[in-house]
Structures are given as structure tokens and as C-alpha cells.
């Protein structure tokens, strides 16, 4: 009986809608990467959305990490994966606090997530000293070099956050609307 309940929870409509939207985000990450639109990606928005949309909090964290891993297996594994995956987990955690909040909070959550991801993943002590000196000067160099990528991230995060949250709420509203035949 426990297994039946677990299967029913997994296969509920909200879970399927959220998972479908996240799979679309993974496909877009791969497409934009192949087009060399660096950091124009739905990944941060996907993690924020997962924290918001899944009632089972294990899935909130598992789905974005699994999605990243699947797309990284296709795009290529890299030495910064632990740093990026940790950042994705923290962005998912931010999404947990957005449930039931207004659109202003969701936009703010997207901007905070973009800023956090930029600051965290560009810390110089994550990387070898050959790339940037592990000093205040090296840190500034790292952040300045990453500014063009940050701009693309903010734009894509806001855009994909709007799409993911908007489609999700549109579908949920249609679900609640009375059927007229």
C-alpha cells in the first residue's frame, strides 16, 4: 500500500506539469549551449521553479540536479560541476521560500538567484591560481571577466522564470476553471 501511495504522489498532475517544464528547460540549455549563447540558459530559473513547484521537497532538489547532470553528460563534464551544482541547490532553496508569494517576490527571487549564482560561481578560490590570483585583485578580475555572462544570465533568468511560473500558473488556473459544454 505504501508503494501505491508513493506512485500516486509522484504521478500527480502538478508533478507532471512541473517535470515537463523542467525537461523543456534542459532541452533549451542544450540548444542554447550549442548555439554558443553562453549563460543564456533556463537552469537558474528551473532550479528556482523546482523549489517553488514541488510539494515533495526531495524532488525540488533532485530534479534540477538530475537535469543538470543529464545535460552535462551530453554537453560535457567539467571541473566546476560541484560548485555549479551547489549553487543550483542553493537557488532551489531560495525557491522554497517563494511558494504562495506574489509576482514581485518571484521576480526578486529570480534577481537574487542570478546575483548569487554569479557571485558564488566566480569566487577565485574555487579555481586554480593560474586562472586568477587568489587575492582581492584576482577576485575583481574574475568578476569583471564574468560580467558579459552575468548580463546574459539575468536576462535569461527573468525570461525563463516568467515562462516557467507563468505557464505553470496558467495551467493550474485552467484546471480550476469551470468546464462549459
Q: Give the residue-averaged pLDDT of 101-111.
A: 96
Q: What angle do CA 15, 20, 23 make, to 5 degrees?
A: 125
Greater pLDDT, 80 or 115: 115
**Which cell goes with 181?**
459544454
Confidence (pTM): 0.86
Tens of pLDDT, residues 55-80: 888 888 988 898 898 899 999 999 89
Instruction: Give 181's pLDDT tier (boundaries 50, 70, 90).
Output: very low
* Residue 128 near residue 142, CB atoms below 8 Å: no
Amino acid at each position: 500500500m505504501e508503494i501505491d501511495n508513493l506512485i500516486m504522489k509522484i504521478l500527480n498532475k502538478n508533478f507532471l506539469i512541473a517535470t515537463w517544464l523542467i525537461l523543456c528547460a534542459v532541452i533549451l540549455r542544450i540548444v542554447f549551449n550549442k548555439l554558443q549563447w553562453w549563460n543564456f540558459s533556463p537552469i537558474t530559473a528551473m532550479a528556482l521553479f523546482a523549489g517553488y513547484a514541488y510539494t515533495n521537497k526531495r524532488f525540488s532538489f533532485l530534479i534540477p540536479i538530475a537535469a543538470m547532470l543529464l545535460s552535462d553528460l551530453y554537453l560535457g563534464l567539467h571541473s566546476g560541476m560541484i560548485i555549479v551544482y551547489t549553487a543550483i541547490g542553493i537557488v532551489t532553496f531560495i525557491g522554497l521560500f517563494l511558494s504562495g508569494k506574489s509576482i514581485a517576490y518571484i521576480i526578486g527571487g529570480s534577481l537574487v538567484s542570478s546575483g548569487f549564482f554569479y557571485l558564488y560561481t566566480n569566487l577565485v578560490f574555487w579555481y586554480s591560481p593560474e586562472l586568477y590570483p587568489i587575492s582581492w585583485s584576482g577576485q575583481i578580475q574574475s568578476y569583471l571577466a564574468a560580467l558579459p555572462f552575468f548580463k546574459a544570465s539575468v536576462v535569461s533568468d527573468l525570461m525563463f522564470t516568467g515562462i516557467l511560473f507563468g505557464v505553470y500558473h496558467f495551467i493550474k488556473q485552467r484546471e480550476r476553471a469551470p468546464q462549459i459544454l
